Structure 1
Amino acid sequence: MTESEAERHALARLGQQLDWNLLRTFMVIVQEGSITKAGVRLFLTQPAVSLALKRLEEQLGRPLIDRGPGRFIITAAGEQVYDEAVAIHGTVSRLGALVRDVKDEVSGHVHLLMTSRIQTDRLDRSLREFHQLYPKVTFRIDVMVSADAHIALQQRVGAMAICLLREPIPGLASVVFLRQTYRLYCGPDFRLFGRRDIDIAELRHENFVSFTSDQIDGALSPLTLFRAREGFAGRVIASSANLEEVRRMISCGLGIGPLPDHIAARDVADGLLWELPPYEGIAPVNVHLIWNEQGKLNRAERAFLEYLQTAAASA
């Protein structure tokens, strides 16, 4: 057997014997940038994650991560393995949806990811009309924080997402689907509840309730910039990734806080919330329709994505 033939046989054996779990663990290590953080996400111990990485490197015969004290660098071989692992992960995760496709008509399963409490006639109308056109298409909608939706799309799990996006993410395409205005509110126990002549200076030392993504590098960074610009000195004493819980904590008097005006409108009418200055609103926040440009969508998902893109373009 020649040297080239031996190499081909070795590669064939590697393809048959390679453990997918090792590739998946490596993919998460790269995404988290840390063996420790990867262990937390995978519910594994740090030694178990380190051993999985070592076994994969041994099987491939290449170092995949150059690591040491204060050093964590993906090698060229590691970059290639990561790209393939992401593609394999997306394919494996979406096999069930892909096999539902048929050739004679648009049918199949649409997996949509969304942040909480997206209320817009644009989405409701799209779902209603699309279902009337393609009644055999089935849907699954998973609600999650925007950051998790971004990761899921990068891993090619889920066809598309409607969520917040602070800045473009490589590999993900997006369009603005909905424009929201966030305003400042308080609950009935707040000392200024019911007053209409409030000066914003009266609020600058009040404690805040907000979203976990209300950070300078978060999806709701416009809210962070608003507090800094207006000189708000109070602490953020309560936060949640869930809009309903933020609304609850504001209403219960834990602090003043921001909400989308279309979400808060009913509570204001019912006397559960009161709008505070600035009355033109804190900041506009865009909700995006996002999808993976390299994602392998079934016919139903392609059709629904095009439908939502058309709805966004007509806004």
Structure 2
Amino acid sequence: MNLRHLTFRLLEVYVAVVRAGNISEAARRLHLTQPTVSLQLKRLNETVGEPLLVSHKGQLQMTDAGLALYNACQELLGRFQELDDTLSELQLGHQGRLSIAMVNTAQYVLPKLLGPFSQSFPDVDITLEIGNRAQMLTRFNQQLDDIYIFSHPPSLEHAAAARFLRNPLVLIAPTHHPFHKRSQVSLKELTQERFLLREPGSATRMLFDSWLRTQGIQLTKSMQIASNDAIRVAVEASMGVAVISQHVIPEGQKGIAILPVESLPIESHWHFIVRRDRRISKTAKLFLTFVDAHLERYLEPDFACHEISALLDEVIGF
């Protein structure tokens, strides 16, 4: 048998004839004429070099060679059907890779969305990169990921941003703080407190420093701590007070209270960021579309923002 003369179409015609039991019915199913199907069978017989079908009581039946070829066709065509299914899934974004890079604080929010997404689309292989703002900006500039998450979006030419969640910054203190039971606290009353601050360059620190300037306040005592978890522990241990994202505070957290400080909370938002100069991947589009449809289900409804559709409209046609 000369395999170079075999074609995918010849094998399809042969399988159709075997399943139909006669040429006329196979021709009807294939939307071909009977002479065309007969010619294809003749070419296939000549290529194999053995008779493939014999007529018995008006029905075509396979010879031993015909059965061997049919089994091979079933396997081959089945593999191509699997390939077609896989390609369809890839085109829809239901399979493939998705890389998301996010600043540290987003780790308190994103898993609530990634968990349900992973359950709905288990064949999407997700990679998460977590770091400080400077590290995430470096990844953005090097185009290492599909989606980036910032609470303060970078002012870069190729950065397209969409808000998806409110991120209020609140002031926390230990529950035994004398101001805990107050209905309102002025910021000036807190200026003698030690403030526990994130490192310079973090979005929380940038927003808090900007807010202090607008209030005309200068802190007298402060301590720099490089993680939100460490700040929470330090506040609970009465080392000071802090302004952090409300999302960082676990529900039912004991030992920590949010003080009702005037002019607080500081309003900010979580943003999805993609590059304008890069075609968005199918998996990234699938994830963003999923999030936009399920924000209120998996996150606090009052905090949800719906700007993702506009973001996709902006970058999908690149």
Please give the range of the TM-score, normalised by the shorter of the 2 chains: 0.5 to 0.7
Q: Residue 272 of structure 1 corresponds to which residue in structure 2?
A: 255
TM-score (norm 2): 0.55
Q: Secondary structure at the match of 1:104?
A: helix
Shift of 1:288: 0.8
Deviation at 1:227, TM superposition (A): 2.2
SS of the residue aligned with 1:283? coil
- Structure 1 distance, partners of 2:226, 2:163, is 21
Q: Which residue of 1 aligns with 2:227?
A: 242
Which of these two proteins has the greater Rg computed from alpha carbons?
A: 2
Structure 2 residue 100 is the aligned partner of structure 1 residue 116: no
Deviation at 1:129, TM superposition (A): 4.7
The answer on 1:254 being equivalent to 2:239 is yes
CA distance in 1, matches of 2:260, 2:289: 40
Which one of the candidate residues 93, 102, 105 is aligned to 2:89?
A: 105
* Residue 248 of structure 2: aligned partner: 263
Report the counterpart of residue 187 of structure 1 in structure 2: 174
Q: 1:196 aligns with which of 168, 171, 182?
A: 182
Q: Structure 1 residues 254 and 144 mapped into 2: Cα distance closer, same or farther (>3 Å)?
A: same
1:150, CA displacement in angstroms?
A: 2.1
Task: Report the counterpart of residue 72 of structure 1 in structure 2.
Answer: none
* SS class of match (1:255): coil
Residues in 2 aligned to 1:137 and 1:302: alpha-carbon distance in whole angstroms: 12
Q: 1:203 to 1:132 in 2, by over 3 A?
A: closer
| Aligned-residue offset at 1:309 | 5.6
Q: Percent identity?
A: 16
Q: Which of 287, 294, 310 is the equivalent residue of 2:277?
A: 294
Q: Residue by residue, what CA displacement relative to the aligned partner does 1:74-133 show, whole Å, maximum 9, x if unpaired? A: xxxxxxxxxxxxxxxxxxxxxxxxxxxx6231311111112224344xx55643453344
User: Aligned runs of 1:1-315 on 2, under 5 Å?
Assistant: 103-106=87-90, 107-118=95-106, 119-120=108-109, 123=110, 126-188=113-175, 190=177, 192=178, 194-196=180-182, 199-200=185-186, 201-213=188-200, 220-235=205-220, 237-264=222-249, 266=251, 269-278=252-261, 281-295=264-278, 298-308=281-291, 313=306
- The 1:199–1:177 alpha-carbon spacing in structure 2 relative to 1, beyond 3 Å, is closer
CA displacement at 1:265 relative to structure 2 = 5.6
* Off by >6 Å, runs of 4+ in structure 1: none
SS state of the match for residue 162, structure 2? strand
SS of corresponding position for 1:165: coil
Q: How many residues of Structure 1 are paired with residues of Structure 2 in the alignment?
A: 207
Q: Is contact 2:134-2:201 (8 Å) kept?
A: no
Q: 1:130 to 1:185 in 2, by over 3 A?
A: closer
Structure 2 distance, partners of 1:314, 1:295, is: 19
CA distance, structure 1, for counterparts of residue 211 and residue 194 of structure 2? 14
Tell whether the 8 Å contact from 1:187 to 1:193 is kept in structure 2 after alignment.
no
Rate the CA distance shift 1:276–1:131 in 2: closer, same or farther, 3 A.
Answer: closer
Task: Check the 8 A contact 1:182/1:259 in 2, yes or no.
Answer: yes
Amino acid at match of 1:113: A
SS of corresponding position for 1:143: strand
C-alpha distance after superposition, 1:42-84 (max 9, x if no partner): xxxxxxxxxxxxxxxxxxxxxxxxxxxxxxxxxxxxxxxxxxx
Structure 1: segments with no counterpart, 5+ residues: 1-101
RMSD: 3.1
Most deviating of 174-183 and 257-266? 257-266
Query: What SS does structure 2 have at the residue aligned with 1:205?
Result: coil
Q: Distance in 2 between the 1:283 and 1:214 partners? A: 17
Report the TM-score, using the length of structure 1 for normalisation: 0.56
Q: Which amino acid aligns with 1:147?
A: A
